[in-house]
Structure 1
Amino acid sequence: MINIDDLNAESCEVVIVDDNKDLLTNVSDYLSLHFKKVHAFIDPAEAIKFIYEDFPGIVVSDIKMPEITGVELLNHVLSCDKNIPVILMTAHGDISQAVQAVQEGCYDFIEKPFEPERLLESINRAIEKRVLTYNQVHLRDALKNKDAIETRLIGVSPKMAKLRRDILSVANLDVPVLIHGETGAGKEVVAHCLHDFSHRKKAQFVALNCAAIPNDLFESELFGHVKGAFSGADTTRIGKFEFANKGSVFFDEVESIPLSAQVKILRSLSENKVEALGSNTAKDIDIRIISATKEDLKDNPNFRQDLYFRMQVAELYIPPLRERKEDILLLFEHFASNFMAQNDIEWAGAGIHLQRQLLEYNWPGNIRELINVATRCVIKNCHDLNELLNSNEQQDKTSQSSLKDLVNDFEASMLINSLQRHKGSVQAVLEELEMERRTFNLKLIKYNIDSQVYKK
């Protein structure tokens, strides 16, 4: 596993530079009340030596200093790492210089004298940006290693870091694992990770969507059948358990397994044997069971509790996307970039407005919905989430319209288009549409169309 040292607001460092010793002391003392690592420099040259590429922090500097100006310091910092936010403090007479600095890449400038809260607000926003860009760069580096778990479960949030650690801690243990997660959260991806980072990775990974298998075929799917075992069993067929021998079986939506099949599954897992339908011979199997559910199976009347305890030896919890906001923009960029690369198309990317909308949205469909939105933004060249979602709602309304409504809309548009083409000439419309005058008049009344409007 690649070690990514995730940066967060608490661990982010603050460098303060000012040649005014009293102001430097006061500001650094105030900032020390809010941040753990505050570094004060009266000499900007020393600050330049302290800052390095990939520095996990931000810089606050006075703009007017004798040896090295704040603008020169800004250029040094950005040449070292363009992602480090620099805030400049300026007196009223230096405003034009500060504006120029912003154009050259300064994150913000604060006019002296300033309220401490104003400085704190700016620093907090700069730290938020630094945390995001720092972690994105580190994760991109990790993604270059195609075998790393970070390439499967992308995210810099503490909850995703914990999930990756939990997966690797149980991957090589030959125990059943139950995965909890909402719809679209990525339960099958987690299941694949459990298999691919285990000693079973060279054997089969067999995924079963339990909700998609008809109840009367469930046992046949799992255990197989011999020829003639039931009507339509024209050939012998091995089941998924036998096919996955030495590998892993993934039960997605495990809560959908019919009760009649749960007893036989429990026995098979308890004895490590499988008996095909219509056969009297049991075969040894060696499989690892991975299950996923979006429901609480404990004390669930539709799920045998003895089977639940058999499957729930180890548990993993996938956090919903709304609980790991710091991953949203990184994931969006990843999915949009992948789609562009696969289809050889370009898109300008998410601007500040769209980024803010992505972070504020609740994502009920989790990762699956985010992939959909990223793909549609590229296809439609869209930079507004509300516009994209509203177009979805409009399409849903259209698809839910009755056939009668659709026919009426089509008929009304045909009449209007014909009246427009013929400049309101009723006779020409009747001939074109092969319609009787009485029918035509009834249609005008029905759709509230005034033919006189189209006469020129």
Structure 2
Amino acid sequence: MKKGRIILIDDDRDHLRAASDWLTVNGFEVLSFDRADDAFKAIIDQPPDLVLTDLRMPGVDGMTLLSSVVRKCPGLPVILLTAHGDVSLAVEALKRGGEDFIEKPYDAERLVGVLSKAIEKSRMSQEIGRLQRLVVQQDKEVGSIIGDSTAIRSLRQRIAALAQVDIDVLIIGETGTGKELVAQALHYQSHRAPAPFVAINCSALPESIFESEVFGHVKGAFTGALSERQGKFEHATGGTIFLDEIEAMPLPFQAKILRVLQERVVERLGENRLRPVDVRIVAAAKTDLSAEIAAGRFREDLFYRLASVDVRIPPVRERAEDIEQLFRHFASLAARRYGRPEPQVPPSLVVRLLQQEWRGNVREVKARAERFALGLDEEQPQQSAFSIEAPLPERVSHYEARLILAALGINHGNTAQTAADLGIPVRTLNEKIKRYGLRYSGET
């Protein structure tokens, strides 16, 4: 079995032949070139597992080739061969995306080791990426809009219809109703699905960096701007921009967003050039914005530009027939995530669920269901891992372990935030996690 496919470039044909023979003997498939431009065509045509190139060559040199590979084949490892006096140049190459460099003359065995390690690392990175994409896809499948009520069926039909029309949309719904989920559904059911879905929380982005983050900046635009930076609108080209909590956007930036909506161009901070962007804009607000307009906190012209088409999400209290289904769905997901048995929801709990106000809407239902799946709900059937006759310290420890696991789940495995929520030092939390043998399976 071949260790990997390598493209080798060096204008020194004697070294090219010797290195190619040595790597072939050691199990690599090698394609050799004495010109970087010819090699680059082969790389684009059929990307190898690794590129090994001399740094100094006539015509297109190794540094130029590196830049082209990083731009066209991100993630493809490039290792440079350098002379002793080129170490500083090789270090610069690493900053530009090179994987490693080897000084000539080199130890032949070390060369094999470095290449093998780089290919293994690259393959592992690709596998992690594949698994992450699989998780995202699974999340999309399990994160569908749950419910069979008339209101939810109408919502799904409206999303399906609007997804096929390339028009900006305003989503209106209370906190926790699933506005971002609706925005994602509009994106993934449209022809823009292969392109990025980029979410911007307008209330969480500080005014001081808003323009730079959203529209990008050029080198030297402000102190610390050491290089050009693409903004979120440019990054989302071909896809969808989701402006969450649009009502919290500062007035000065509302005018800039209105210009993007009208002209489909952005201007990076510190630049006079207009850059066209092909994006669909989906905005979300907690209310219909009339109060914000009346108070002078939201531009009326921006509202009318956004609200040509709107999607209104019903609160949970208006879709009571969906509550049991939502609760069972989230409880089942949580049980699988944490390795717990499938929870049985008793009728008495269903009655209590239907009597709740659910001011936090679906988000609150989800949190309650996860607590139930972890055995932290007062109506959870008694399937405890300890008996009532167990010593009190054992029962206390068991309960403490469940609380910690639940907090880890809420914070997606973030131990610092979990410790803060529980009111204990991080070191103490880590000791308890080790003592109880806890493992948060949702971590990546």
TM bucket by the smaller chain?
0.5 to 0.7
For residue 337 of structure 1, what is the aligned residue in structure 2?
332
For residue 161 of structure 2, what is the aligned residue in structure 1?
169
Query: 1 CA distance for matches of 2:317 and 2:311?
Result: 18
For residue 360 of structure 1, what is the aligned residue in structure 2?
355
Q: Secondary structure at the match of 1:289?
A: strand
Kept in 2: contact 1:149–1:193 (CA 8 A): no
- Check 1:334–1:261 CA distance in 2 against 1; reply closer, same or farther (3 A cut): same
- Of 192, 202, 207, the residue aligned with 1:215 is 207
- Check 1:147–1:295 CA distance in 2 against 1; reply closer, same or farther (3 A cut): closer
Does 169-178 or 180-189 show the bigger shift? 169-178
Kept in 2: contact 1:149–1:164 (CA 8 A): no
Query: 2 CA distance for matches of 1:376 and 1:203?
Result: 36
Q: How does the TM-score come out when normalised to structure 2? A: 0.52
Query: 2 CA distance for matches of 1:149 and 1:155?
Result: 14
RMSD of Structure 2 on Structure 1 (CA): 2.4
For residue 270 of structure 1, what is the aligned residue in structure 2?
262
Residue 348 of structure 1: how far off its partner (Å): 4.2
Q: Which runs of 5+ in 2 are unaligned?
A: 1-136, 381-402, 408-422, 424-444
Query: 2 CA distance for matches of 1:209 and 1:246?
Result: 20
Kept in 2: contact 1:180–1:316 (CA 8 A): yes
- Of 210, 218, 225, the residue aligned with 1:226 is 218
Matched, 1:255 2:247: yes
For residue 385 of structure 2, what is the aligned residue in structure 1?
none
Matched, 1:305 2:267: no
Map 1:73-112 to 2 at 5 A. Answer: none
For residue 50 of structure 1, what is the aligned residue in structure 2?
none
1:90-141 Cα shifts (integer Å, max 9, x gaps): xxxxxxxxxxxxxxxxxxxxxxxxxxxxxxxxxxxxxxxxxxxxxxxxxxxx
Residue 269 of structure 1: how far off its partner (Å): 1.9
Q: Percent identity?
A: 45
1:1-57 Cα shifts (integer Å, max 9, x gaps): xxxxxxxxxxxxxxxxxxxxxxxxxxxxxxxxxxxxxxxxxxxxxxxxxxxxxxxxx
Q: Secondary structure at the match of 2:212?
A: helix
Query: 2 CA distance for matches of 1:370 and 1:147?
Result: 18
Query: 2 CA distance for matches of 1:179 and 1:333?
Result: 26
1:292-348 Cα shifts (integer Å, max 9, x gaps): 000232334111111111111210010001111110111111111111112221254
Kept in 1: contact 2:331–2:343 (CA 8 A): no
- Check 1:366–1:317 CA distance in 2 against 1; reply closer, same or farther (3 A cut): same
Matched, 1:350 2:345: yes
Query: 1 CA distance for matches of 2:194 and 2:343?
Result: 41
- Check 1:218–1:196 CA distance in 2 against 1; reply closer, same or farther (3 A cut): same
Q: Secondary structure at the match of 1:337?
A: helix
- Check 1:335–1:237 CA distance in 2 against 1; reply closer, same or farther (3 A cut): same
1:172-227 Cα shifts (integer Å, max 9, x gaps): 21111000100000000000000000110110100011000001211111110001
Q: How does the TM-score come out when normalised to structure 1? A: 0.51
For residue 34 of structure 1, what is the aligned residue in structure 2?
none
Amino acid aligned to 1:379: L
Kept in 1: contact 2:218–2:268 (CA 8 A): yes
Amino acid aligned to 2:198: V
Q: Secondary structure at the match of 1:211?
A: coil
Query: 2 CA distance for matches of 1:224 and 1:146?
Result: 32
Query: 2 CA distance for matches of 1:325 and 1:167?
Result: 21
Amino acid aligned to 2:370: T
Amino acid aligned to 1:283: R
Query: 1 CA distance for matches of 2:225 and 2:169?
Result: 33
Kept in 2: contact 1:354–1:383 (CA 8 A): no
Residue 148 of structure 1: how far off its partner (Å): 9.7
Map 1:20-419 to 2 at 5 A. Answer: 152-298=144-290, 299-300=293-294, 301-346=296-341, 348-380=343-375, 382-384=377-379
Residue 380 of structure 1: how far off its partner (Å): 2.4
For residue 28 of structure 2, what is the aligned residue in structure 1?
none
Kept in 1: contact 2:241–2:282 (CA 8 A): yes
Query: 1 CA distance for matches of 2:159 and 2:229?
Result: 34
Residue 149 of structure 1: how far off its partner (Å): 8.4
Residue 382 of structure 1: how far off its partner (Å): 3.0
Q: Secondary structure at the match of 1:179?
A: strand
For residue 436 of structure 2, what is the aligned residue in structure 1?
none
Paired residues in the alignment total 244
Query: 1 CA distance for matches of 2:223 and 2:378?
Result: 57
- Check 1:279–1:148 CA distance in 2 against 1; reply closer, same or farther (3 A cut): closer
Query: 2 CA distance for matches of 1:361 and 1:169?
Result: 33
Kept in 2: contact 1:207–1:249 (CA 8 A): yes
Query: 2 CA distance for matches of 1:150 and 1:231?
Result: 44
Q: Secondary structure at the match of 2:203?
A: helix
Residue 384 of structure 1: how far off its partner (Å): 3.1
Amino acid aligned to 1:259: L
Query: 1 CA distance for matches of 2:315 and 2:222?
Result: 44
- Check 1:164–1:147 CA distance in 2 against 1; reply closer, same or farther (3 A cut): farther
Residue 150 of structure 1: how far off its partner (Å): 9.2
Query: 2 CA distance for matches of 1:156 and 1:171?
Result: 20
Runs of 4+ in 1 over 4 A off after TM superposition: 145-151
Residue 151 of structure 1: how far off its partner (Å): 6.0
Query: 2 CA distance for matches of 1:186 and 1:202?
Result: 22
1:213-269 Cα shifts (integer Å, max 9, x gaps): 001211111110001101221221010111101110000000011111111111122
- Check 1:171–1:262 CA distance in 2 against 1; reply closer, same or farther (3 A cut): same
Query: 2 CA distance for matches of 1:148 and 1:217?
Result: 31
